[in-house]
Structure 1
Amino acid sequence: MKLPSPDPNCPTCRRIQFPALQHNAQDEEIELCGRDTVQIHRKSGLDLEQWENQLANVADVRRTPFLLKVIFHEGIQFVMFRDGRVLVQGTEDRIQVRIWYDRYIGS
């Protein structure tokens, strides 16, 4: 598998730091380098069963014991975790990420 060259500005690629995994990253958007994904951690917890029922009306949803995957027809996906983290996949544009997050999950 051919991988792109490490991003010289990425703390994970160059300095082996993992800011997306730190709990003090709450209420921030963190771009996951090279993944077309932004993580948002604004809530202290998510009830995946509740969100599955709520979002099933607007997207395809798949729940495991660990996460809820929400697939919108516009090419955006959410991967939601019980601890409150949400990965918004399909864009690295933080404004678009906030719009999608606020529209479906809220602040």
Structure 2
Amino acid sequence: MPAQGASLVMDASEPRRLFCLGDQPCPSVSRAWLLDGPVNSDDLQEWLDEAGYDAEVEDDCSSGSCRVDGSADDWRFTLFVTTPGPGESSRLSLSVRH
């Protein structure tokens, strides 16, 4: 989903089960990437559109953090973008659950 040059820093999944235990819904996938630089709201909206997610970026990602909730093919997702400071790399975290 993120642009080229992004490095995957976290990848976790929870398979479908008869009973889901703990706080992690099942099935679900969580991933996080460290990006080469800051992310703005337009970049994020372009990535969401290209991935086929039904969501609109309403927050200003240049403020340091933004959150997007949406869906794609009966799956719900939450996406967080955090940027520690001006000009620093952003972290993109994606959680997808059924």
Whichever structure has more helix as a proportion of its residues is 1
| TM-score band, normalised by shorter chain | 0.3 to 0.5
TM-score of the aligned structures, taking structure 1 as reference length: 0.40
Whichever structure has more strand as a proportion of its residues is 2
TM-score of the aligned structures, taking structure 2 as reference length: 0.42
